[in-house]
Structure 1
Amino acid sequence: MSHPPPHLDDLERYSPTIVEPDDFDQFWSDTLAEATARPVLVDVRPEPTDLPLLGCWNVTFAGFGGDPVRAWYTRPAGARGPLPAVVEYAGYGRGRGLPHERLTWPVAGYAHLLMDNRGQAGQYGAGDTPDPHGAPGGPWPVTWGILDPRDYHYRRLITDAVRAVEAVRALPGVDAGRVAVVGNSQGGGLALAVSGLVDDLAAVLTTAPFLCDMRRAVQLSHLAPYGEIAHYLAVHREAEEAVWHTLSYVDAVSLAQRATAPAHFGIGLRDTVCPPSTGFAAYNQYGAGSGRPVPPEREIHVYPFNGHEGGEAVHVRRQLRWLGARLRPAG
């Protein structure tokens, strides 16, 4: 059954209380301390492409548990001096693909790191990073290890996303003080999660974010990924309390509350994958728990007649102009 899109004035006021475990901050502090104890770069080697205007390197960095995570590092060929960098996170079921598939940011003059999603590739795009950690849960990535927050797939993936920022800062030709994170859908949720776990980002760009207000999202959306959680609970009815407890550690609204960097949001009001109210929950509370007297700058672009695709090229143009005004890329 379809529902009419929500009224914008209701969304602008939507600010739910997201229940956090008492050890939320300690959980992430311990998780990241274990990861950052290892050197971040494992291997960096030039990658031949058929694009003479693009420099490309095949990067492996140490993610959660020291697991090797793949990424493409690209930048304008021949660019001089340290460049501002964009770390990009891919959507659910996608891998890093081939280096010529994501050209927007290096063509715009940025150093660009595209992180592979561990264990997820093959549904929508190719990748080559496995997720070797098994735990009780369902058959889909969003349900892997969902009965215990320490076993959960998104504990690992969010840790990888934080380590990707550390990796790009360690790469040659990057201005480590000017690093932005960007993503759409799952990638947008990862960008928000990182915004609350890395306190010196230059900017955050998120579109149609996943991982936000997750209890509500699972109740509203029947499509993957949230629908996969609902399907799991339809079979494992006794697991509901454990599932909500696990999800409370990775809810991007809680993490975004701790953010300090300027943020740019995009949301389609007819989004049935990531309900717009859940993205507004993150926007309305972004930076509210950072402890700073003045919350970080934020802006949102709403597309009333678009769904999960959002504003597409129009929104990307807005992202480029917004980020370019804050980070001066090459060219």
Structure 2
Amino acid sequence: MPSADLPLPDCRAFRPELPVPVDFDSFWARTLGDVPPGGRDKPGVTLVDTGLTQVRTYDVAFAGHGGQTVRGWLRMPTGATEPLGCVIEFLGYGRGRGPAHQDLLWACAGYAHLVMDTRGQGWSAASGATADPDPGAAGAVPGFATRGIESPDTYYYRRVFVDAVRCVEMMRGHPEIDPARVVVTGISQGGGIALAVAGLVPGLAGVMPDVPFLCNIPRGARVGGLPPYTEIASYLRLHHDRTDMVFRTLSYFDAALHAARATAPALFSIAMMDEICPPSTCFTAYNHYAGPKDLRVYEFNGHEGGGERHRAEQLAWVRSLFAGLSAGRTATS
């Protein structure tokens, strides 16, 4: 379907100034500094027999927000003798980590690949294994985009972003991983999470957000034609007096604001006929991104983006990126 959003030349120049809460940085410093007892204990890592001989798969359990257990799959090439570069993937809206034997691309390319469950999700595409004990769903519309939206402290994505940061910390401490060669990536919701992590975690090797959600959220809620942005519009259709409160809460989780604090090299993808994550919202994050950046635009694609063509672009980009980083460096060197 032809896009109802801005044309490509206008998107390339689209860099609106988004309101930044005065306590944005202190809020995240406080949030990430709040580690419960045992919150950084050694993660559980259990080898799983998938029947595959060239890829090792581990069931991983680590402490996320509030010390709550978050699960994921870690896949690694068999026979590796040196510290591995690592790709950490955050999932799209509604997806869970799925079965142990799928998503082998990055492991087959010679990297460690960690797929993190998104708490409470996993009802579509692939099942999840991570509960959300703090749903904050009272008054929310169906879905996750309005859970706990009355306050930044209770909002659903506060917990998710903390989970993602702890996931990166865990993988940097893994004995088979080179902490200087860790890349985060994701499609849609996963792309927004990856951008947030890039703004919150120094020293990443790179970030690859694809058609990212959670960018310029006020615009997404106003022009997005399909969920999840329409969940926010539906909530405000019921609560006419809460618009300012809602957009204030959401500003702490706007990936475009996190992108403005990110310095790792980035490879974005944006689709111009995307009705789920309108291209102008994705370009807001790209145009505000503070680090070195590159972009692939898929002019006639919707939310599927560049698909396997873009996977090939990512493989080449990561190979070139890691080639410039020597194994064994520290994450901050």
**TM-score, normalised via structure 1 length:** 0.93
In structure 1, what is the Cα distance between the partners aligned to 2:10 and 2:135? 41
SS in 1 for 2:302: coil
Tell me which residue corresponds to 1:292. none
The answer for unaligned runs of 5 or more in structure 2 is 326-333
Give the root-mean-square deviation of aligned CA atoms: 1.6
In structure 1, what is the Cα distance between the partners aligned to 2:3 and 2:77? 45
Residues 135, 156 of structure 2: 8 Å contact kept: no
Alignment-mate amino acid for residue 122 of structure 2: A
Residues 191, 205 of structure 1: 8 Å contact kept: yes
SS in 2 for 1:41: coil
Residues 221, 273 of structure 1: 8 Å contact kept: yes
Tell me which residue corresponds to 1:205. 208
Cα distance 1:5–1:304, how it changes in 2: closer, same or farther (>3 A)?
Answer: farther
Tell me which residue corresponds to 1:214. 217
Alignment-mate amino acid for residue 209 of structure 1: P
Tell me which residue corresponds to 2:149. 146
Per-residue CA deviation, residues 162-189 of structure 1 (Å, 9 max, x unaligned), is 1110111122310011100010100000
SS in 2 for 1:264: strand
In structure 2, what is the Cα distance between the partners aligned to 1:36 and 1:20? 28
1:258 pairs with 2:271: no
Offset, 1:75: 0.6
Residues 21, 251 of structure 2: 8 Å contact kept: yes
SS in 1 for 2:114: strand
Q: 2:231 aligns with which of 206, 228, 231?
A: 228
Q: 1:322 aligns with which of 312, 317, 320?
A: 317
Residues 36, 66 of structure 2: 8 Å contact kept: no
- Which deviates more from structure 2 when the two are superposed, residues 44-53 or residues 230-239? 230-239
In structure 2, what is the Cα distance between the partners aligned to 1:5 and 1:237? 25
**TM-score, normalised via structure 2 length:** 0.93
Residues 137, 147 of structure 1: 8 Å contact kept: no
Tell me which residue corresponds to 2:84. 83
Residues 86, 179 of structure 1: 8 Å contact kept: yes
Equivalenced residues, count = 321
Cα distance 1:73–1:36, how it changes in 2: closer, same or farther (>3 A)?
Answer: farther
Residues 185, 207 of structure 2: 8 Å contact kept: yes
Residues 266, 292 of structure 2: 8 Å contact kept: yes
SS in 1 for 2:322: coil
Tell me which residue corresponds to 2:328. none
Tell me which residue corresponds to 1:282. 285
Per-residue CA deviation, residues 7-29 of structure 1 (Å, 9 max, x unaligned), is 22111110011111111000000
Residues 274, 303 of structure 2: 8 Å contact kept: yes
Tell me which residue corresponds to 1:19. 19
Offset, 1:5: 5.3
Residues 2, 273 of structure 2: 8 Å contact kept: no
Q: What percent of counterpart residues are identical?
A: 46
In structure 2, what is the Cα distance between the partners aligned to 1:6 and 1:219? 13
